Structure 1
Amino acid sequence: MRISAYTRLNRKQKTTTIGLAAAAGITALTAGIAPGSDGGDAGRSPAKPVAGHSANADAAGEKQATATKGEHAKDTKSVQLAGASAGHQTKAYQGKDAKAEQKNEAKADVKAEQEKKAEDVRADRGSSRAADRATKADNLDGWIKQAQSIMKEEGIPGSYHGIKKNIIRESGGDPNAVNDWDINAKKGTPSKGLLQTIQPTFDAYHVEGTKKDVTDPVANIVAACNYAADKYGSMDNVNSAY
């Protein structure tokens, strides 16, 4: 056990002024603290900030804030430039789309006009063809020959002899002949015309350009021959009622 120097003083030395001073000095030395010194870190008051250091810190903070502000300004400008560029591109695309749409509309108008002209031409041709195919003859011979001319254009077979033979047997050459007693008449569809054709058959085998009248001589011959070609190969193969 360590005994301090103060403990070794005798009572007289401790009570004298010199002794007290010595005791105080010894005690201070024993504690490791010299009179008048700071006594190390123990009991030391917190260090006050150095003025110069504080100023440097403030300057650094301001510099950092300025730098941050500059970076923010750059970022803002970049965003603005990007937005402006995107807006410019959008306008450019919109302009292209508008031009493309106008171009497509122009093409559509041209196509519609071409189709209308083509339709008008077809209508004119149809009217002209119908006029050419209208019944002009006024006798059986003329009707058969006119019918054969149309049949040739349409690829419908039938000789003059085969057509006339069946006409004479069916109607005697009367384009207005009507059968009002056979099975067709009883069903409500009497046979009519030169080749005694019922209305449903005439409608199904009618040839474009001829009159849509079952009693029209040329129209009746052409439709009947078209039907005979489909069912029997030709009117020439028909030797009885069909």
Structure 2
Amino acid sequence: MPQHIFRDRGRALAGNAKNKIALAGVATLGAAALAFTTAPSGGQTTTAEAAFPANVAYSSEPVKVVTTGITDQFADAGLKVEALAAKKKAAAEAAAAEAAAKKAAAEAAAKTAAAQAAAEKKAEQRRQEKAAANRSAERIEFETVAAKSYANNLDGWIREALSIMKAKGIPGSYHGLHKNIIRESSGNPNAINNWDINARNGIPSKGLLQVIPPTFQAYHVPGTSWNIYDPVANIAAAANYAADRYGSIDNVNSAY
């Protein structure tokens, strides 16, 4: 009899294709009792069959719990995929932005370095041009001075000495030099005093302005001869000494 019940119920459920199994029907099918064998003390075995309820309730409502759960799971999975894709996209955009920023910084640094190099090159070019101009001016001035010649006489000696004194910042005038030369040596570049106190001390006065050797060496003007009898060197050294001692050769009106 139990087997007949299972067959009938199976056909009934299969024949109704439009109705889905309700939760109550599933619970009823799952409630079938299994047969248990018990061994009483008499040694006989008794088999008990599970009884099924006489009335089984079915529902025409479709099972929604299972399908709803699956739908929610797919929806959650879709959201997770979208979130992951959005995260990857954001990371890619951040990486691209960082790369663009680094590239822009590198380009800016390169432009700054190029501008600085150009400025330094231009400044160096200006320095070289200025140095070249200065050398050219010095060469022209030197050539002009070298080309200028002076007469080999008292007038020429005084004028040449004045040119050197001007370049060295030593004061003095033509008149001041001329009057002292005439008084001291009468214009003789080889004049020597062998009778005064300096001569007795072994250092006689010599040249146009009667300069003693120690004074000539101490006040020698660079660019002139070291020969105390050289007229231009003698005049320049005497004028340099007079400028230091009296302010200018023009202030000397007697032996010094």
Q: What TM-score range do you get, normalising by the shorter chain?
A: 0.5 to 0.7
Give the superposition deviation at 1:79: 1.3
Deviation at 1:92, TM superposition (A): 2.2
**Alpha-carbon distance in 2 for matches of 1:71, 1:155:** 90
Deviations 1:118-162 (A, max 9, x none): 23223313422541566x3322233124434665786833343x4
Indicate if the aligned counterparts of 1:146 and 1:218 stay in contact, CA closer than 8 A: yes
Instruction: Decide which structure has greater helix share.
Output: 1
- The structure whose RCO (Cα within 8 Å, separation 6+) is larger is 1
Is residue 122 of structure 2 the alignment partner of residue 107 of structure 1? yes
Residue 166 in structure 1 maps to residue 184 in structure 2: no
Cα distance in 2, alignment partners of residues 213 and 127 from structure 1 = 21
**Which of the numbers 67, 71, 91 marks the counterpart of 2:86?**
71
Task: Measure how far apart 1:69 and its partner are.
Answer: 0.9
The normalised TM-score by structure 2 is 0.55
- Rounded to whole Å, the distance in 2 between the matches of 1:190 and 1:86 is 88
Which consecutive unaligned segments of at least 5 residues does structure 2 have?
1-52, 54-64
Give the structure 2 partner of residue 199 of structure 1: 217
Residue identity matched to 1:59: F
Partner of 1:211: 224
User: How has the CA–CA distance of structure 1 residues 228 and 133 changed in structure 2, closer, same or farther, with 3 Å as cutoff?
Assistant: farther
Q: Paired residue for 2:66? A: 51
What residue is the counterpart of 1:85 in the other structure? 100
Equivalent AA in structure 1 for residue 216 of structure 2 = I
Q: Name the counterpart of 1:224.
A: 238
Could you tell me how far apart the structure 1 residues matched to 2:144 and 2:237 are?
16
Deviations 1:84-140 (A, max 9, x none): 321331232133124303421331332132123123223313422541566x33222
Distance 1:96 1:190, change over 3 A: farther
SS at match of 1:116: helix
Match of 2:152 among 138, 147, 169: 138
Paired residue type of 2:224 = K
SS of residue matched to 1:55 = helix
Percent identity reads: 38
Relative to the length of structure 1, the TM-score reads 0.58
Distance of 1:239 and 1:150 partners within structure 2:
23
Matched, 1:234 2:240: no
Aligned residues: 184
Is the Cα contact below 8 Å between 1:158 and 1:225 reproduced in 2?
no
CA distance in 2, matches of 1:190, 1:93: 79
